[in-house]
Structure 1
Amino acid sequence: MASLFTFAIIAILILIAPYVSKITKIPVVVVEIILGALGYYFGIFKHSEGFDVVAEVGFLFLMFLCGMEVDLRGFRQLGKDFLKKAGVYFVVLYVVATSAVLILKLPPIYIAAFPVMSLGMIMALIKDYGKNMPWLDLALKIGIIGELVSIAVLVIINGSYSYGLTFELYKTLAVLLAFLLVIIGMFQIGKILFWWFPNLKLFIMPYNDENNQDIRFSMMLFFGLIVIVMWLHLEIVLGAFLAGMIVATFFPYKHELVHKLNDIGFGFFVPLFFIHVGSTLDLSLVFHTPSLFFHGAMIVVGMILLRLFSATIAFRSYFKSAKNTVLFALSDSMPLTFLVATAALGLQLGAMDQNTYYAFLLAAIFEGVIFTILIKVVYYFWKVRI
């Protein structure tokens, strides 16, 4: 009964979050984190095993939806020139991040945290500004690649902290490589199979579907791949993300499926995850420890400077405008989902202490609020001379 009461309270918070977001102009994700923190602080709801499990499912479902933004066939259309520039961007990003961490003697987890990327806030920006903006179109393409890189880095970090530089780490990396090669092979087999038997797609996901077969197949794929990567002792995010990629690549004709799954995810599971994240923030400790705000602010400054530097080197000739470069860097500096995930993984592995975890959560909130405001200011008030 206690768990049901908790879910009832959470459902109310999920309901009011969009209204608060509209009134305050704060991103709904940030509002959900704040509501979760306030709700737990004032004792409106408490943690339970059921709440924790559903929140985990919510996070994985968000990764599944992010995977659905990746249509592998679209990568062929990006062109070699773009891929070279993207490669330069990521190399500079990780080299500078690694150098900064070594010079400042920060924990190694920062190497994964500073360059981390996520599509969540980029998708929200696309709803506001449209996909035709060059800086936002590039942010989406880079975000897709960056999310894949971030997942791979999280897997490596997980293995490094779990096993150290031992045979087990190399075994984990070998398993990861073998698993990815198997997935690539299955993609190729799938292409051939669906080319020879085009009706097989329609059998799996028919056009006129009265029994929601598309949802059923997607959920089977979602949980099936998660179980497989768990069995292989890999990061479970990988399974959820790959499941989304498979659906997007092989069943692009099911346009309504994306809307259905988005409604399920962003209507309940994803907001519940962010409320759960907020509830892990100890507000009494935060308010009595001002240094956490400074630490969070420094993380934000580090992330934006890193992206401004990398974007200037890689995409200066691509944009031909400092305004678009700044807008791209700002839109690429709000990896709320993966920043929270990296912090949670770091805390779980003992790679960071509780205070550092709180600083990362505060950084995620700061980024969501400050950078969305800065994007509006730059977009509307920075006049480019022609």
Structure 2
Amino acid sequence: MNHTMEIVSAFSIFAVLILLASPISNLTKIPLVVVEMILGALCAHFFTFFNQSEEVKVVSEVGFLFLMFLCGLEVDIKSFTKLRKSFMLRALAYFCTLYSITCIVVLSAGLSYIYIAAFPVMSLGMIVALIKDYGKNQPWLDLALKIGIIGELVSIAVLVIIDGSTRHGMNTELGHKLIVLVVFLILVIIAFKLTKIIFWWKPSIKLLFLPRDDTNSQDLRFAVMLLFIFVLLMLFLDIKAVLGAFIAGTILSTFFKYKAKLPEKLHDFGFGFFVPFFFVYVGSTLDLTAVFTNIEILFHASYLILGMLALRIISASIVFSQYFKNVKYTLLFALSDSMPLTFLIATATLGKGLGELNDTIYASFILGAILEGIIFSILIKIIYTFWKPIKPKK
């Protein structure tokens, strides 16, 4: 099979799997994302060329960035800045509790310091997928989204610190990377405020980019342009590209609210191909042969999954038990917060590149990331559907 035929065959298989995932999900009642990952793992087991080409990896990376772009689209900076001080203090307490307990566990168990980043790591990818299934009005999911936004930024900062400290040591090079990240975030905040003033002063400027009467799909063109411009900027500054995709999404959701149908069009565009392509690819990176022949991989994946969930349940119970006043919602929040699929894989990749994780532990991280998406999504479905809290008698 020549190279062109191999690539076309791989993309054809991806397209078929993406098409089949939805009816299989409807028949089995298994979450769609989970089905996509399972299909990817099974297909890669039988077709070795399935996920090997650079073209497939590039498209999956675009799918990941588009997913993070959609995450940003769920964020309204204006309403986020209006959150009460009490909530922000609770959020701060949650992260302090989560990272403090993590440090105690990692140091006590003598684990690699990469686990300090891995156990509390957060990503919005699976949370957005849950919002698509359950709606944004669920209190536990709304909190997971707000905490996830902050948590993703914290996770990026932690990964930058670990990467820099290992590669360059605690020297000026690490300080330079951190300064670049902080300065960029400050400039983004200033740019948001200036843009708000400019659009208030001259509202017609918005219409130059996104006219109200759009017959040429200008809104989609502008959105895609915004995505890749910010991703390119992140790559130029040597910052995680995911941050650029996320910021591009927040810009659209904050300043172009009058394009009410644009988020729906972008969701259809993303979840129609690029996002499921990414999830199928993630599933395909799991080596089923290694999983079933090396019990150590399953063992390490199990304690990684249980550790991440236990840390979140403990932290959420300490900080948010009074916020929810409901054990069901606290558990649902902890579960939805425990599926950092993409960032856990990114952490594993970083750990392996730094020599902190061997092949077995790396494989267990990948397996753990996928199993979290599968097991926790199913648990959320079961708890949400069948757990009926006992109402107090009047």
* Cα-Cα RMSD: 1.9
AA matched with 2:259:
K
Contact 1:323/1:384, CA 8 A, preserved across alignment: no
Contact 1:27/1:368, CA 8 A, preserved across alignment: no
Question: What is the alpha-carbon distance in structure 2 between the residues aligned to residue 89 and residue 239 of structure 1?
Answer: 26
Matched, 1:381 2:380: no
Deviation above 4 Å: which 4+ runs of structure 1?
none
1:116-131 mapped onto 2 (5 Å cutoff): 116-131=121-136
Q: In the alignment, which residue of structure 2 is the partner of 1:152?
A: 157
Q: In the alignment, which residue of structure 2 is the partner of 1:24?
A: 28
Q: In the alignment, which residue of structure 1 is the partner of 2:236?
A: 231
Say which SS state the counterpart of residue 155 (structure 2) adopts. Answer: helix
Measured after TM superposition, the shift of residue 92 of structure 1 is 0.5
Contact 2:31/2:378, CA 8 A, preserved across alignment: no
Question: What is the alpha-carbon distance in structure 1 between the residues aligned to residue 350 and residue 104 of structure 2?
Answer: 22
Say which SS state the counterpart of residue 78 (structure 1) adopts. Answer: coil
Contact 2:36/2:280, CA 8 A, preserved across alignment: yes
Question: What is the alpha-carbon distance in structure 1 between the residues aligned to residue 354 and residue 213 of structure 2?
Answer: 47
Question: What is the alpha-carbon distance in structure 1 between the residues aligned to residue 72 and residue 328 of structure 2?
Answer: 30
- Specify which of 67, 71, 76 is matched with residue 76 of structure 2: 71
Measured after TM superposition, the shift of residue 89 of structure 1 is 0.5
AA matched with 2:15:
A
1:238-277 mapped onto 2 (5 Å cutoff): 238-277=243-282
AA matched with 1:35:
L
Relative distance call for 1:162 and 1:129 in structure 2 (3 A) is same
AA matched with 1:126:
I
Question: What is the alpha-carbon distance in structure 1 between the residues aligned to residue 141 and residue 381 of structure 2?
Answer: 13
Matched, 1:278 2:283: yes
Matched, 1:356 2:361: yes
Contact 1:300/1:363, CA 8 A, preserved across alignment: yes
Contact 2:74/2:250, CA 8 A, preserved across alignment: yes
Q: With the length of structure 2 as denominator, give the TM-score of the two structures.
A: 0.92
AA matched with 1:384:
I
Measured after TM superposition, the shift of residue 309 of structure 1 is 0.9
Query: When the two structures are aligned, how many residues end up with a matched partner?
Result: 386
Relative distance call for 1:164 and 1:335 in structure 2 (3 A) is same
AA matched with 2:264:
H
Contact 1:66/1:241, CA 8 A, preserved across alignment: yes
Relative distance call for 1:31 and 1:377 in structure 2 (3 A) is closer
Contact 2:296/2:360, CA 8 A, preserved across alignment: no
Q: With the length of structure 1 as denominator, give the TM-score of the two structures.
A: 0.94
1:305-344 mapped onto 2 (5 Å cutoff): 305-344=310-349
Relative distance call for 1:154 and 1:359 in structure 2 (3 A) is same
AA matched with 2:283:
G
Matched, 1:38 2:46: no
Contact 1:86/1:142, CA 8 A, preserved across alignment: yes
Contact 1:308/1:329, CA 8 A, preserved across alignment: yes
Measured after TM superposition, the shift of residue 382 of structure 1 is 4.7
Measured after TM superposition, the shift of residue 44 of structure 1 is 6.1
Say which SS state the counterpart of residue 156 (structure 1) adopts. Answer: helix
Q: In the alignment, which residue of structure 2 is the partner of 1:204?
A: 209
Contact 1:14/1:32, CA 8 A, preserved across alignment: yes
Say which SS state the counterpart of residue 261 (structure 2) adopts. Answer: helix
- Specify which of 172, 175, 180 is matched with residue 167 of structure 1: 172
Contact 2:98/2:311, CA 8 A, preserved across alignment: yes
Question: What is the alpha-carbon distance in structure 1 between the residues aligned to residue 132 and residue 236 of structure 2?
Answer: 38
Q: In the alignment, which residue of structure 1 is the partner of 2:64?
A: 59
Say which SS state the counterpart of residue 159 (structure 1) adopts. Answer: helix
Relative distance call for 1:16 and 1:161 in structure 2 (3 A) is farther
Question: What is the alpha-carbon distance in structure 2 between the residues aligned to residue 348 and residue 81 of structure 1?
Answer: 40
Of 124-133 and 263-272, more deviation after overlay is shown by 124-133
Q: In the alignment, which residue of structure 2 is the partner of 1:8?
A: 12
Of 178-187 and 161-170, more deviation after overlay is shown by 161-170
Measured after TM superposition, the shift of residue 69 of structure 1 is 1.4
Question: What is the alpha-carbon distance in structure 2 between the residues aligned to residue 98 and residue 305 of structure 1?
Answer: 14
Deviations 1:312-346 (A, max 9, x none): 11112212222322222122222223223322333
Sequence identity percentage: 56
Q: In the alignment, which residue of structure 2 is the partner of 1:103?
A: 108
AA matched with 1:42:
F
Deviations 1:281-340 (A, max 9, x none): 222111100121121111111111101111111112212222322222122222223223
Say which SS state the counterpart of residue 50 (structure 1) adopts. Answer: helix
Relative distance call for 1:253 and 1:344 in structure 2 (3 A) is farther
Relative distance call for 1:255 and 1:344 in structure 2 (3 A) is farther
Question: What is the alpha-carbon distance in structure 1 between the residues aligned to residue 217 and residue 317 of structure 2?
Answer: 47
Measured after TM superposition, the shift of residue 31 of structure 1 is 2.0
Matched, 1:80 2:60: no
Deviations 1:86-131 (A, max 9, x none): 1101110111112211111222221122112222333333344443
Contact 1:9/1:45, CA 8 A, preserved across alignment: no
Unaligned runs of 5+ in 2: none
Question: What is the alpha-carbon distance in structure 2 between the residues aligned to residue 19 and residue 348 of structure 1?
Answer: 39
Question: What is the alpha-carbon distance in structure 1 between the residues aligned to residue 18 and residue 211 of structure 2?
Answer: 33
Contact 1:33/1:278, CA 8 A, preserved across alignment: yes
Question: What is the alpha-carbon distance in structure 1 between the residues aligned to residue 120 and residue 326 of structure 2?
Answer: 23
Question: What is the alpha-carbon distance in structure 2 between the residues aligned to residue 125 and residue 243 of structure 1?
Answer: 21
Of 84-93 and 343-352, more deviation after overlay is shown by 343-352
Unaligned runs of 5+ in 1: none
